Structure 1
Amino acid sequence: MTTPEQNKQLVLDAFDTLFNRRDYARAETYWSPHYIQHSAHIPPGRDGLFDLVRALPDTLRHETELIMAEGDMVMLRGRFSGHDQPAPWIVVDTVRVRDGVLAEHWDVIEDEVSREASASGLPMFGDTFPEDRQESI
């Protein structure tokens, strides 16, 4: 039985391996071959996820801002950028860890907005708006 802290580290390592490093062989050790995908945006299974990532530009990056775990469930709030879409995505990923691998996934995704488009006047990720960062969106 793994602890919530171990599960958080596993998910962080898995996301970095797949989305930032693009090491698909190593990523297979993090995702179950029977991976269940609940996302409306990602085809079923581990292959559906990996094929989607392969189709995205090599400039894709994932940053984690917050991670929480309880039992076998891990939630992380992150930002995907470099995917050649009009705006970065702010995503809350919920992952079930089973037998030391990522077994099941749900997500909520929204486009990151500019200062002008933010009704609250606050950034959605970190303490800066996309137009204030020295990066391409």
Structure 2
Amino acid sequence: MTNTSSERNKALLLEAFDTLFNKRDYAAANRFWSEHYIQHSAHIAPGRDGLFDLIRTLPDTLRYENQLVVAEGDYVIAHGRFSGNGRAAAWIAADIVRFENGKLAEHWDVLQEEATESQSVSGLPMFGDLFPD
């Protein structure tokens, strides 16, 4: 595999998400998110601090799992699951991130509660091969 900027950005995104969401290592996460981070999510206050402050309010059981990550230049899209979020259902997310100077610089997302088998009109799970319990 070549070490293109797209490949580096995919790896950086996965490491950044693991560091912040799973490990809750805010000091280490600072090195991944730009100081000028732009947040487009309607669920998160502006900037890097807005994101970090939101994560601090969520249960320690929060976990991020990635199923798919694709990149084109400075843009990366990750399809993942946020479980243990303190809600009845996990969130399935498509996170779109723009990188600048090797850091997460801008973010958009689409979030949806994970459907159970009885809720799925398609009969297929939204994440992975299995429905949630």
Common fold, TM-score beyond 0.5?
Answer: yes
SS in 1 for 2:28: helix
Q: TM-score, normalised by structure 2?
A: 0.96
Amino acid at match of 2:110: V
In the alignment, structure 1 residue 77 sits paired with structure 2 residue 79: yes
Alignment of 1:10-89 (within 5 A): 10-89=12-91
User: Which residue is equivalent to 2:120?
Assistant: 118
CA RMSD in angstroms comes to: 0.7
User: Which residue is equivalent to 1:127?
Assistant: 129
Summarize deviations over 1:100-135 as a string: whole Å, max 9, x none.
Answer: 10000000000001100100111110000001xxxx
Alignment of 1:90-129 (within 5 A): 90-129=92-131
Number of equivalent positions = 130
Percent of paired sites with the same residue: 64
Summarize deviations over 1:26-64 as a string: whole Å, max 9, x none.
Answer: 000000011000001111000000000000000000000
Give, in whole Å, the separation in 1 of the partners of 2:25 and 2:14.
14
User: Which residue is equivalent to 1:134?
Assistant: none
Give, in whole Å, the separation in 2 of the partners of 1:6 and 1:127.
27
Q: Which contiguous aligned blocks of 4+ residues in structure 1 show a shift greater than 6 angstroms? A: none
**Pairwise CA distance, 1:86:** 1.0
Unmatched 5+ stretches in structure 2: none
Give, in whole Å, the separation in 1 of the partners of 2:52 and 2:5.
27
